[in-house]
Homo-oligomer: A and B are copies of this chain.
Amino acid sequence: MKAEGSKSKKNKIRLSNYLPFLDWLLNYHSQDLVGDIMAGVIVAIMLIPQAMAYALLAGLPPQVGLYASILPPIIYALLGTSKALAVGPVAMVSLLVATGVGQFAQPNTPQYVALALSLALLVGILQTFMGLVRLGFLVNFLSHAVISGFTSAAALVIGFSQFKHLLGVKIPQTESFYELLEAIIQRLLETNLVSLSIGLSCIAVLFYFNKPLGNLLKHRQIAPNLITPITRSGSLLVVLGSTLLVSGLNLEQIANIKIVGEIPAGLPPVTLPDFDLTIWKQLLPTALTISFVGFMESIAVAKSLASKRRQKIDANQELIGLGTANLGAAFTGGYPVTGGFSRSVVNSMAGANTGLASIITALLIGLVILFFTPLFYFLPKTTLAAIIMVAVFGLVDIDTFKQMWRYNKTDALSLLVTFFAVLTTGIETGILVGILTSLVLYLWRTSRPHMAVVGRVGDSEHFRNILRHDVKTYPHVMAIRVDESLYFVNTNYLEEHLIKVINEQSEIQHLVLICSGINFIDASALETLENLIEDLKESGISFYLAEVKGPVMDNLLKVGFIDKLGADHIFLSTHQVMQALGCS
């Protein structure tokens, strides 16, 4: 009976691997409810203006952003593994939609909206597929350096792309950041000062809500669970304030302020994206980038939030969760979505315990779009631009660069290369350049391994680098430790270095290679080693191996290397080989 019980428990665990919501739904605790409702409401307050702003950034009508905030987060709450991830429109993906779809249609046209739908469908298919065939590990090829450089550069591109709304001027979509800057400067004289004033005021208010207000409230000893809702309502406040101002003073007419205009009321329409292979082919590069970048942004924040609560994120199931959420977006008038960084952090901080929080957010957005869209008619676009700018400029991260520069110059270099590649060549090429750079730098680093000639520490059994420690050495024996796996990229360097150090020590009769840092030896390195041992033998120098790791030894045995070298030339420890060679 006991065995059966444990088996059925195993089956249940397995089912919840595929339907993660079973985990929280079947074990829902009533004490989780307050946090979920609280977080759901706060995120909704944040999301309403953000969803419209990001749709604007993507070149889409504002309601599309709201549509994308309803079904997708509900689907993710059912199929994703993070309890606190807030899925919906985000800045980075919106920018990618703008540059990708912008190649084939004019923003705000029906064709453009249709292409955005197809893009969501493609992203959904790609991510779901990647999750099903277990490609989640691909995200491992993104180093923190590349992510940091990429995020900072994309934040700049996004932020500056909003200047046109802030200044109330027309600026065409550009791929390169420098062209964008140039276009902004050229049109500075055309600035609509009323638009700029409203925008800058919004930015000021948002900055005040971001940090100083929170500190003030803390200082005044306001209850902490009130502080978050208050500070997070900054964007809703600027939306309401600027809308009232524009409609009250009729600024649309007298100052030519661009407004959002009519947003159709009613729940998201059921939409059928185009199943047109020509279009799919055109959109594929953008869809691949969004699938990858969106996943990367999402998994990074999901992991960080989960590790704080000792929860587990499954990369492949995350892909399935995000992919199906995008499929949801494609069939309900939305556009590509992913887990947003700041929104998810707020969700978690505000107390989200389960996916129920996201579902509550989605229901609130549904209410807004059913009944409250007329409120946003006079909402000026400059306010939405201000919201985006404040959101993304905080992502420009100089500290990480400084820290990496101190710790490790090659990481800092990958970061810089990625940063400038994104600014000069655009987001898609930029991230590829960044990934390749970080991989090549890694290979370069392994191509010149650190090698240390070692000596005995006092009378102990330990051997350390003669350059770093006060150690005993022996003229007829050289013991050298190679701090790298041996493979084709570094075999030449290894050979040349060994020959060099041997030539410097004339009395040498025995060479001991300490393999504690060698995690594998590939076929190229093995051949080099065999030739070297042969050459040394002809020069009257015998060769020994010490501290060979198990997996390496297994392979060496298999090809008869050990037989050729002689089992009496292999020692478990450096101490043992040195004793055998009369160095005690």
On A, residues with C-beta under 8 Å from B are 137, 139-146, 307, 310, 315, 403-404, 406-408, 410-411, 438-439, 442-443, 445-447, 449-450, 452, 461-462, 465, 468, 483-485, 487-493, 516-517, 519-520, 522-524, 526-527, 531, 535, 539, 547, 549-551, 555, 558-559, 572-573
> CA A492 – CA B312 in complex, angstroms?
12
Q: Which of B140, B307, B519 contacts A517 (CB 8 A)?
A: B519
> A407-B559, A442-B487, A445-B520 are known contacts; what are 6 more A-B pairs with Cβ within 8 Å?
A140-B488, A310-B535, A407-B558, A452-B550, A465-B550, A483-B551
Please give, as numbers and ranges, the residues of chain B lying within 8 Å of A550 by CB-CB distance: 452, 465, 468
A352 to chain B, nearest CB (A): 20
> Do residues B489 and A531 form an inter-chain contact, with CB atoms below 8 A?
no
Please give, as numbers and ranges, the residues of chain B lying within 8 Å of A145 by CB-CB distance: 488, 522-524
- Can you list 15 pairs linking A and B with CB atoms under 8 Å apart? A137-B447, A139-B492, A143-B487, A144-B488, A144-B527, A145-B488, A407-B526, A442-B443, A445-B520, A462-B573, A483-B549, A483-B551, A484-B519, A516-B517, A517-B517
**Residue picked from A439, A447, A488, A531, most chain B C-beta under 10 Å:** A488
> CA A549 – CA B522 in complex, angstroms?
23
> Do residues B143 and A551 form an inter-chain contact, with CB atoms below 8 A?
no
> CA A17 – CA B449 in complex, angstroms?
26
**Which 3 pairs from chain A and chain B are nearest by CB?**
A143-B488, A144-B524, A411-B523
> Do residues B450 and A406 form an inter-chain contact, with CB atoms below 8 A?
no
Please give, as numbers and ranges, the residues of chain B lying within 8 Å of A439 by CB-CB distance: 439, 443
Q: Which residue of B lies closest to A403 (CB)?
A: B559
A584 to chain B, nearest CB (A): 15
Please give, as numbers and ranges, the residues of chain B lying within 8 Å of A572 by CB-CB distance: 462
**Residue picked from A404, A484, A523, A539, most chain B C-beta under 10 Å:** A523
> CA A526 – CA B406 in complex, angstroms?
13
> Do residues A522 and B140 form an inter-chain contact, with CB atoms below 8 A?
no
Q: Which of B143, B489, B527 contacts A522 (CB 8 A)?
A: B143
> CA A452 – CA B551 in complex, angstroms?
11
Please give, as numbers and ranges, the residues of chain B lying within 8 Å of A443 by CB-CB distance: 141, 439, 442
A563 to chain B, nearest CB (A): 14
> CA A257 – CA B315 in complex, angstroms?
68
A322 to chain B, nearest CB (A): 18
Please give, as numbers and ranges, the residues of chain B lying within 8 Å of A487 by CB-CB distance: 143, 442
> Do residues B310 and A489 form an inter-chain contact, with CB atoms below 8 A?
no
> Do residues B141 and A489 form an inter-chain contact, with CB atoms below 8 A?
yes
A482 to chain B, nearest CB (A): 9
Please give, as numbers and ranges, the residues of chain B lying within 8 Å of A551 by CB-CB distance: 450, 483
> Do residues B519 and A143 form an inter-chain contact, with CB atoms below 8 A?
no
> Do residues B523 and A408 form an inter-chain contact, with CB atoms below 8 A?
yes
> CA A404 – CA B524 in complex, angstroms?
10
A40 to chain B, nearest CB (A): 27
A249 to chain B, nearest CB (A): 50
| Known interface pairs A144-B488, A442-B487, A535-B307; A450-B522 also in contact (CB < 8 Å) | no
> CA A145 – CA B559 in complex, angstroms?
16
Q: Which of B488, B490, B573 contacts A142 (CB 8 A)?
A: B488
> CA A465 – CA B519 in complex, angstroms?
14
> CA A365 – CA B334 in complex, angstroms?
77
> Do residues A492 and B523 form an inter-chain contact, with CB atoms below 8 A?
no
A302 to chain B, nearest CB (A): 13
Q: Which residue of B lies closest to A535 (CB)?
A: B307
> CA A549 – CA B547 in complex, angstroms?
15
Please give, as numbers and ranges, the residues of chain B lying within 8 Å of A547 by CB-CB distance: 516
Q: Which of B461, B519, B522 contacts A411 (CB 8 A)?
A: B522
> Do residues A523 and B144 form an inter-chain contact, with CB atoms below 8 A?
yes
> CA A460 – CA B404 in complex, angstroms?
40
A579 to chain B, nearest CB (A): 13
> CA A404 – CA B142 in complex, angstroms?
31
Please give, as numbers and ranges, the residues of chain B lying within 8 Å of A490 by CB-CB distance: 140
> CA A539 – CA B144 in complex, angstroms?
26
A405 to chain B, nearest CB (A): 10
> CA A487 – CA B408 in complex, angstroms?
12
A463 to chain B, nearest CB (A): 11
A466 to chain B, nearest CB (A): 11
> CA A385 – CA B15 in complex, angstroms?
66
Please give, as numbers and ranges, the residues of chain B lying within 8 Å of A143 by CB-CB distance: 487-489, 522-524
> Do residues A492 and B140 form an inter-chain contact, with CB atoms below 8 A?
yes
